[in-house]
């Protein structure tokens, strides 16, 4: 269940009744920074926040589109942000502060909106088989919105990304699995593995225990002959105090994607680089990097210690956001921009020493290629 903090900067565990109600429908290289705290206003975006709508054979959905003031027709990246249950695009934009990042980095942001007719709690239907396949259901609508914006603006087709929170994160994973030819990388915050559930009941099991996490796509989803096989970079955030979606789900998402990527990380529990750190005055975290057989970083996992079911480093101006954690939005954008589609990235040769304020390098494994992080 997603619950609005009772006061700016605070977090509240939802009541059992509220949690049950939503559950049935839910059925760097850079130095990490802390998000906006109470008394601090995130940088105000100066671009245009437009309303739009899209329809196709799968139905219709509204969406919001942020166009930064720096966009003048040049080729820019695009980030698709999928909200969680009980949230709206405006609420999600405020909590993640993604528009402010788009203003600074000059990229477009789409916030598709789930229909209350499709799900009474506003959850994306990630757990229904009809919404887990290419060319149908909500994946067809979200990909359609993405392509509509790409047709109307000059978007770099190699730098289109999708991210989400909770039910939105689970749907972002679906989008990465079913449209690997459209999205270059996926950002997952408090999400659940692809096809870990196929009904409301199995969704509840998955949320609380992790459920089943098939290691690769099966015959009912697009196979290699249809969309091609490529390594899908993914950055994952999860709180170890999450009482709504157990943190084991983050590890299952990681293991599943590693097997899909056919990388060495899919055959070992050991990451290539592990960094422990703490945001001054905030949460500690463990950050793990996984490389493929060519030394290219394709997976990044952040376990935020003390974080409940909330967007890490988010603004109290939105719901389900904890400002005391590392800034998940900034880290996702950093990861996205380092991973254009079909352009490999890698961690450093020899001992990798990532700047990490307040953190200690616990274990660093030698890797093969020069550092991909442009800010290092």
Residue 181 placed within a domain: yes
Provide the domain count of the chain: 1
Q: What is the CATH number of the domain that holds 90?
A: 3.40.50.1820
Residue 11 placed within a domain: no
Find the mean pLDDT for residues 97-122: 98
Cα(7)–Cα(317) distance, integer angstroms: 10
Residue 34 placed within a domain: yes
In which band, very low, low, confident or very high, does the pLDDT at 5 lie, cut at 50, 70 and 90? very low
Contact 174, 90 (CB under 8 A): no
Tokens found for residue 146: 């993405």
pLDDT score at 92: 98
| Cα 63 off chain centre by | 18
Q: Mean pLDDT across the chain, nearest whole number? A: 80
What's the half-sphere exposure (Cβ side, CA atoms, 13 Å) at 343? Answer: 11
Residue 133 placed within a domain: yes
pLDDT digits 0-9 by tens, 185-220:
999 999 999 999 999 999 999 999 887 655 433 433
Residue 217 placed within a domain: yes
pLDDT digits 0-9 by tens, 301-357:
999 999 999 999 999 999 999 999 999 999 999 999 999 997 544 444 333 333 333
Residue 278 placed within a domain: yes
Pairing of strands 76-82, 155-165: parallel
Residue 10 placed within a domain: no
Q: How much of the chain exceeds pLDDT 90, in percent?
A: 66
Residue 1 placed within a domain: no
Q: How far is CA 298 from CA 78, 236, 261, 372, in A?
A: 19, 11, 8, 11
**Domain interval for residue 165:** 16-364
Q: What element of type H or E holds 117?
A: none
Length of the chain measured in residues: 376
Query: Which of these, 141, 69, 61, 142, lies nearest to 99 by C-alpha position?
Result: 69
Find the mean pLDDT for residues 37-44: 43
Find the mean pLDDT for residues 63-67: 98
Exposed/middle/buried for 95, CB within 10 Å: 0-12, 13-18, 19+?
A: buried
In which band, very low, low, confident or very high, does the pLDDT at 296 lie, cut at 50, 70 and 90? confident
Query: Which of these, 228, 54, 70, lies nearest to 150 by C-alpha position?
Result: 54
pLDDT digits 0-9 by tens, 81-105:
999 999 999 999 999 999 999 999 9
Q: How many other CB atoms are found less than 10 A from the CB of residue 224?
A: 9
In which band, very low, low, confident or very high, does the pLDDT at 227 lie, cut at 50, 70 and 90? very low
Contact 161, 183 (CB under 8 A): yes
Q: How many other CB atoms are found less than 10 A from the CB of residue 133?
A: 17
């Amino acid at each position: 269940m997603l619950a609005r903090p009772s006061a700016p900067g605070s977090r509240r565990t939802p009541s059992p009744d509220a949690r049950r109600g939503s559950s049935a429908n839910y059925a760097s290289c850079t130095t990490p920074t802390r998000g906006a705290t109470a008394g601090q206003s995130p940088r105000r975006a100066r671009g245009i926040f437009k309303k739009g709508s899209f329809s196709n054979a799968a139905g219709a959905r509204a969406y919001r589109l942020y166009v930064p003031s720096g966009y003048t027709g040049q080729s820019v990246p695009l980030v698709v942000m999928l909200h969680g249950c009980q949230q709206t695009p405006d609420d999600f934009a405020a909590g993640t502060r993604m528009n402010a990042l788009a203003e600074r980095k000059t990229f477009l942001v789409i916030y598709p909106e789930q229909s209350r007719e499709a799900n009474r709690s506003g959850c994306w239907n990630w757990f229904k088989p009809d919404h887990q396949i290419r060319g149908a259901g909500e994946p067809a609508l979200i990909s359609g919105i993405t392509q509509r914006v790409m047709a109307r603006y000059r978007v770099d087709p190699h730098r289109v990304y999708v991210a989400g929170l909770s039910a939105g994160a689970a749907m972002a994973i679906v989008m990465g699995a079913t449209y690997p030819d459209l999205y270059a990388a996926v950002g997952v915050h408090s999400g659940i593995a692809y096809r870990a559930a196929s009904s409301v009941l199995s969704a509840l099991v998955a949320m609380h225990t992790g459920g089943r996490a098939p290691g690769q796509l099966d015959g009912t989803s697009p196979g290699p002959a249809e969309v091609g096989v490529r390594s899908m970079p993914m950055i994952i955030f999860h709180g170890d105090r999450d009482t709504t979606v157990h943190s084991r789900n983050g590890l299952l998402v990681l293991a599943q994607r590693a097997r899909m990527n056919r990388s060495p990380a899919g055959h070992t529990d050991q990451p290539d680089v592990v960094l422990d750190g703490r945001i001054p005055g905030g949460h500690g975290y463990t950050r793990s990097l996984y490389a493929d057989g060519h030394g290219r970083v394709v997976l990044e996992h952040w376990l935020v210690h003390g974080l409940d079911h909330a967007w890490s480093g988010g603004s109290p101006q939105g719901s389900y956001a904890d400002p005391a954690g590392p800034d998940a939005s900034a880290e996702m954008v950093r990861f996205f921009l380092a991973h254009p589609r079909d352009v490999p990235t890698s961690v450093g040769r020899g001992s990798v020493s990532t700047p990490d304020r307040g953190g200690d390098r616990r274990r660093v494994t030698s890797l093969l290629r020069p550092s991909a992080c442009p800010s290092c």
